[in-house]
Amino acid sequence: MEAQEQEEQEQLVTPWKVSAEKGGKIDYDKLIDKFGCQRLDQSLVDRVAGLTGRSPHVFLRRGVFFAHRDFSDILDAYEKGQKFYLYTGRGPSSEALHLGHLVPFMFTKYLQDAFKVPLVIQLTDDEKCMWKNLTVEESQRLARENAKDIIACGFDVSRTFIFSDFDYVGGSFYKNMVKIAKCVTYNKVVGIFGFSGEDHIGKVSFPPVQAAPSFPSSFLHLFSGKDDLRCLIPCAIDQDPYFRMTRDVAPRIGYHKPALIESSFFPALQGETGKMSANDPNSAIYVTDSGRDIKNKINKYAFSGGQDSIENHRKYGANLEVDIPIKYLDFFLEDDVELEHIRKEYGTGRMLTGEVKKRLIEVLTEMVERHRRARATVTDEMVDVFMAIRPLPNMFN
């Protein structure tokens, strides 16, 4: 019991809070053991390349997406000619997205393009209204603003349906919510999510809302008559509790268990004790940050694994395990050869912290400016089209 309490004090991962205490970092092996998912190994990465004819995404190659549930079953079905659909989402709690928010959408776009499958994106404006004490109207406004950033990632409008819970929940979607809710006891939901007697009933009733998009009959305008269609959910691993619940319920109400492919967290600038937070603007790089903002944040706040003097750095090299600029380059520098060169030179002390930060600033500035240009072209009319209840003309083509 004491050992369990100690572990919980050291590491907390829920859909609403991620932290590692005592200056440590998230232990993903412990998370895999605790959650009961599987590590995504090289054989699955190779299968994706073989089935799609595309080079694996950098997030696959470098283990950013590192865990899964039944991803192999999705690939088995696809190999037999059976399609699937993608489901991911965003809880709109801030005006603009930061880079950590972009990670699942960048990867989901790759999956959509590689497998040529439809995608549903849930905007949980109801959840944020309940957890963040936002008004309904503000939650809805933020959802539309976040939708513009999501659309700017380049999703195919002919294969993509974006919906907000406040606008869409009802009909067949609500029927599935009720079926799910009847299968989950109060004790079960408390055990999964850690709700307490002080939490309002809205929080306790929310999990079926996030579970329902896992089932194709929640979208009759898209998948009518396709109740056997499988679902793959790309998400960060802190969302796993929702889908452990969903997977337990699925066979009891006649559906396939949704498969998951799960990412590690994009760390805060100050270090790997948690993930980037929209509550601390200095912990994150935002898609609205200017080149000067990015430069200042990286130089001032990005935790370095370099030594305390040039002499010591040349002698001992950098500690790459704690160095945030290296972590960020792992995510966003696509050139494997260049990344390995930087890691080697920096790790041996031949490259200084300032040089690594300079390269990171270049990479992030280019990426953010590219995103900003794309977002500037997204009109309210485009958002309306993505969120319209309509058939997807190019759904499986």
pLDDT of 281 reads: 73
The β-bridge partners of 39 are 67
- Buried b or exposed e, range 124-140, using 16+ CB within 10 angstroms: bbbbbbbbbebeeebbb
pLDDT of 18 reads: 80
CA distance 358 to 93: 31
pLDDT of 311 reads: 92
Q: Give kind and range of the element (H or E) at residue 202.
A: helix 201-205
Residues of the chain short of pLDDT 70, as ranges, are 1-10, 21-23, 273-279
pLDDT of 374 reads: 97
Q: Record the pTM.
A: 0.93
- Rounded to 5°, the CA angle 340-346-349 comes to 140
pLDDT of 5 reads: 47
pLDDT of 278 reads: 60
Q: Specify the residue for token string 């790089």.
A: 285
- Rounded to 5°, the CA angle 242-237-251 comes to 40
Q: 244 CB contacts (<8 Å, ≥6 apart)?
A: 35, 36, 192
pLDDT of 13 reads: 83
The β-bridge partners of 221 are none
- Rounded to 5°, the CA angle 135-140-145 comes to 125
In eight-state DSSP terms, residue 160 is E
* Cβ count near 379 (within 10 Å): 11
pLDDT of 96 reads: 87
pLDDT of 14 reads: 83
Among 241, 215, 255, 249, smallest CA distance to 87 is for 215
